[in-house]
Amino acid sequence: MKRVVVTGVGPVTPIGVGADDFLRAQHRAQNGIRTITLFDASDLSVRIAGEVDVDVDAYLERKEARRLDRFVHLALIGSDLALADAGLSPEDVAGEHAGTSIGSGIGGLATFESTAGVRWSRGAMRMSPFFIPMLIANMASGHVAMRYGMTGPSNTVVTACATGSGAIIDAYRVIQRGEAEVMLSGGTEACVTPMGIGGFAVMKALSTRNDEPETASRPFTASRDGFVAGEGAGILVLEERERALARGARIYAEVIGGATSADAHHITAPAPGGTGAVRCIRWALRDAALEPGAVGYINAHGTSTPANDLNETLAFKAVWGPREAVPPVSSTKSMTGHLLGAAGGVEGIATVQALASGVLPPTRNAIDPDPALDLDYIPNEARALQVDVGLSVNFAFGGQNAAVLFRRPTS
């Protein structure tokens, strides 16, 4: 089996766009949550989100951008950034040796909303002919492949909040099997829309701290009251190790294992005790031929919801044993908000950056500890600590789980 390394990252997030900005923002425990500006949310019970500040015109021609949904815009920008960070030109990835594995939990929601208005006000035959191509979730992978002429393996993962991690795992397997040498992988999402925010709000899934957005996302605290939705993309360049070494590439980390599992329990609630997450983590460790004690850092799902944070903590204890044996854990969602299908890609980037920089990102807003949640959540301040192995986990509606293991480069 081929070995697989991460040679480039393209984060497009509410706290930073590009590898350097995103890393600095994590180290500052920067807040990315604010009152919504992408639409008028005054009639909603939730009026805060994590929005991305990025000039789309700097990356895409206006005519092209008008024919694409925002979730594809963000994926294309992330892919440009990731390739540049890896030192790869478009010509380097054109051809059958390179492919895409980029997912979205929902796809073109903004396009659906605007086109539904046209359909009901003016009739179905007045809809844009680009409606379907703008809507469907595979268009992030499709347009990235077209942008660079990548004619190798291409797939799309749609597993809600586990999407980004699942896409990384799929890309990892493709390169392991020798089916490609380079893969652009990760997730993208743009659901800060009236129906996106409204839909989660009526489920009572979101924080309602509209007057204090900077402290609304507070994972693992006693006062957590729901997640804060966000938008973004996290794209990673995965590359066959020998190819990367031959071209003198900078290597962030090696992908050494991954797994998915199902709770088979409930449409939104995690299985009690995090049993599905436990299976997923154990299978990822088995895939990497590692014991739990080898892991030095966990980038948690950490949504800031009562159910997730409790059951995730219980899952970690089930895998590692006593609280003292569980490695440091943090939730970067405390800074970015929950980026849904993009979460796994962005958090995978945060994990490999932690391994490469020797600094673990913090859990922002660790204001009031929950006595039932007693792990080391790296509260409020980044921590200088060099670790060799990092784990990134994501758990989704529908009970779908994903876990990816990364290791600092070794000989």
Catalytic residue numbers, as ranges: 161, 301, 338
Residues 46/206, Cβ–Cβ less than 8 Å? yes
DSSP 359-381: EEPPBTT--SB-TT--S---BSS
For the chain, how far is it from start to end, CA to CA, in angstroms?
A: 16
Type of residue at 49? A
The whole-angstrom separation of Cα 204 and Cα 187 is: 25
Q: At what angle do helices 109-122 and 194-202 cross, to 10 degrees?
A: 100
Residues 226/205, Cβ–Cβ less than 8 Å? yes
The whole-angstrom separation of Cα 143 and Cα 254 is: 27
- Write phi, then psi, for 87 (nearest 5 degrees): 75, 30
The upper half-sphere exposure of residue 302, i.e. CA atoms within 13 Å in the direction of its Cβ, equals: 31
Beta-strand runs (E) in 263-341 = 297-299, 329-330
The single residue listed with the structure tokens 């436990």 is 278
Centre a 10 Å sphere on the Cβ of residue 379 and count the other Cβ atoms it contains: 18
Instruction: Write down the number of H helices and E strands in the chain.
Output: 14, 15
